[in-house]
Amino acid sequence: MPHPVRIAMLGSGFVAEFYMQGLANVNGQEVVLNFSLSSKRARAFAERWNIAESTTSLPAALERNDIDLYIIALPNESHLPVSLLLSQLKRNQVCTKPLARDKSEAKTMWKAAKKAGKMHGYAETEVFAPAVVKAREFIEAGGIGQVLWVRSRESHSGPHSAHFWDIDKTGGGALNDLACHCIEAARYFHGKDNEIVEVMAWGDTLVHHKKTKGEDNALLVLKFESGGIAHCELSWTCKGGLDLRNEIHGSEGSIFTDVTRGTPITSFTAKPAGYVIEKADIDFGWTRPLPEEAFAYGYQAEMRHFVECVRAGATPRETYEDGYKVNVVLDAGYESMRTKKWVRVKY
């Protein structure tokens, strides 16, 4: 492919901003189009990121023949219909997490993308985060022996956009929103050939009763074929900004990752001093700013990977099949939450 990989960014919200930050440091690509439901937001997004064109017409965006990669950075309820249109048109596509609102939608997306014969990438940042990739390298080198137990935590004080609180639009509450990261991290650490076979979950609405019908706190336990365990801690009620941590315990050692509580800078300011970190509740007093968030979270690495896969005609290491399996585990988690029992995972 002699020309840059030409990208259409479908969406102009929070995650689209992070994708653009990640792409800013990726060579051999150019975002040439932004789609948004709002003409004002589309124009503002395109101007902010120096994108040549913007549109509010989805057909006009998808039917172009000069786009090499479409990135779905849209709300959860839009993933299925937009992805199916892309598959019908045989376009390369990448979709943000979670792949869909439930396993049925996810399976439909995966099968259609597979039938189209074009690239499909599941944009799960956690397994592209440099700290997490390094941890996996230690595991592959045998540094901690057999992985036995993983603890993964993702928490903050609640979603930034109103639509996230509507579980009919999203598919669920904190478990759906945050556990997708932790499930894929656990699969990455335990090994993807070591399937999750059984789950147990708890969830409840402890604080945001007026905002959502979904759970704002959840716990999820995953049992692997090997007998290994992972447990995931999810919360929409924790103050202090995004809390993103992993522990991997093996037969010969342990690994710990912490990209938000162990930042290389600490500050005390009497007045607001600007952006601190994702989901920060205050921007003054004692704070822990995170430099290069897009890099630390894995946005830069995953965007580079997907661009390189388009250029080489290669299969990404995270595909819609992975997204589907995560949705299967999430559905089993919600069944366990309702029945208060262990639930077998059926792929």
Q: Can you spell out the DSSP letters for 284-302?
A: SEEE---TTHHHHHTHHHH
> Which residue spans of the chain are classified as CATH 3.30.360.10?
127-297+328-344
> Which residue spans of the chain are classified as CATH 3.40.50.720?
5-125+299-319
Burial class (CB in 10 A: 0-12, 13-18, 19+), 291: exposed
CATH topology of domain 127-297+328-344: Dihydrodipicolinate Reductase; domain 2 (3.30.360)
Rounded Cα gap, residues 82 and 72, in angstroms: 8
Give residue 285's pLDDT: 92
Give residue 1's pLDDT: 65
Give residue 162's pLDDT: 87
Give residue 252's pLDDT: 97
Q: Are 89 and 27 in contact, with CB atoms under 8 Å apart?
A: no
Alpha helices in 143-259 (DSSP H): 167-170, 174-190
Q: Is the peptide bond before 98 cis (omega within 30 degrees of 0)?
A: yes
Give residue 68's pLDDT: 98
Q: Are 91 and 62 in contact, with CB atoms under 8 Å apart?
A: yes
Q: Are 322 and 306 in contact, with CB atoms under 8 Å apart?
A: no
Q: What is the mean pLDDT of each run of 10 residues along the chain (347 residues)?
A: 92 96 96 95 95 96 96 97 98 98 98 98 98 98 98 95 92 98 98 98 97 97 98 96 96 97 91 90 90 95 98 97 98 98 97
* Helix pair angle (320-339, 174-190), 10° resolution: 120
Give residue 161's pLDDT: 86
Q: Are 24 and 86 in contact, with CB atoms under 8 Å apart?
A: no
Rounded Cα gap, residues 200 and 306, in angstroms: 33
Beta carbons within 8 Å of 184's beta carbon, 6+ residues apart:
124, 126, 127, 318, 322, 326
Beta carbons within 8 Å of 106's beta carbon, 6+ residues apart:
98, 99, 100, 320, 323, 324, 326, 327, 328
Superfamily of domain 5-125+299-319: NAD(P)-binding Rossmann-like Domain (3.40.50.720)
- Pick from 263, 223, 224: nearest CA to 241: 263
